[in-house]
Amino acid sequence: MQYKHHFVGTQASDLPVGKVVCVGRNYAEHAKELNNPVPTEPLLFIKPSTSLANLRAPVQLAGDKGDVHYETELMVLIGAPLTQATPEDAFDAIAGVGVALDLTLRDLQSKLKEKGLPWEKAKAFDASCPASEWVPMTADVDLANLELKLVINDEVRQQGNTSQMLMSVPALLSHISEWFTLMPGDIVLTGTPAGVGRLASGDRLQVSLSNLIQIETQVV
């Protein structure tokens, strides 16, 4: 089923489904666990709209393409155009928040990195971004204090807080908008805490964002 933006408790949003801009290595401990240097500025890459899938549906592995790793991330929905935006303007353009899995073909990504090649095959494949519904951005949502948690087969695998980010969400959006415009309906994934690992068929997943979103699903 084709992905559509949904807010909690409502029908599909009128916002179009756009690109997914991803931020790599925005948590220092995650950079370290993959033996990557901690960046001095955000590492950016893009997934197409065809990467989006409903996180409440079973998570699909990528066939025979190698190990698929999970990366649990806060995602934000853009509600107004952002070009050369200040952090304040960027904050005002956030329409909602949610949680997503940035699925990664890790073996392939490593091979591509070794050759100095782009990562798209490892990051942008179909259904590589299972995403939750959206919680509207209100004064009650504290972007600097949201807990991300992933439990697999009753074992906590990832648990982090947005307070651990190297760059805050408004600052990230401002930085991204220096390089390319963010449009209404675009999504930004803001990085993953430490604890990434391999998914296996049959894994039972519990994904949560503070007390805002709790999702149970399974890998097939």
Domain boundaries, the chain: 20-218
Residues 46-60, mean pLDDT to the nearest whole number: 97
Extended strands (E) in 67-186: 68-70, 72-78, 94-101, 104-105, 129-131, 135-136, 147-152, 155-161
- The answer to whether residue 7 scores a pLDDT higher than 70 is yes
Residues 23-50, mean pLDDT to the nearest whole number: 80
What is the predicted pLDDT for the residue at 210? Answer: 98
What is the predicted pLDDT for the residue at 31? Answer: 53
Residues 90-105, mean pLDDT to the nearest whole number: 98
Residues 101-122, mean pLDDT to the nearest whole number: 95
Q: How confident is the model at residue 191 (pLDDT cuts 50, 70, 90)?
A: very high
Q: How confident is the model at residue 10 (pLDDT cuts 50, 70, 90)?
A: confident
Residues 166-186, mean pLDDT to the nearest whole number: 97
Residues 168-187, mean pLDDT to the nearest whole number: 97
Give the CATH superfamily of 20-218.
Fumarylacetoacetase-like, C-terminal domain (3.90.850.10)
Out of 10-14, 19-23, 77-81, least confident range? 10-14
Task: Give the residue, 12 or 49, on which the prediction is more confident.
Answer: 49
Q: Which residue intervals of the chain are DSSP H helices?
A: 28-33, 87-92, 106-114, 120-123, 169-179
Cut 0.75: pTM above it: yes
What is the predicted pLDDT for the residue at 184? Answer: 98
Residues 6+ apart with CB under 8 A from 33: 194, 195, 196
CA gap 52, 65 in Å, rounded: 18
- The answer to whether residue 143 scores a pLDDT higher than 80 is yes
Residues 73-81, mean pLDDT to the nearest whole number: 98
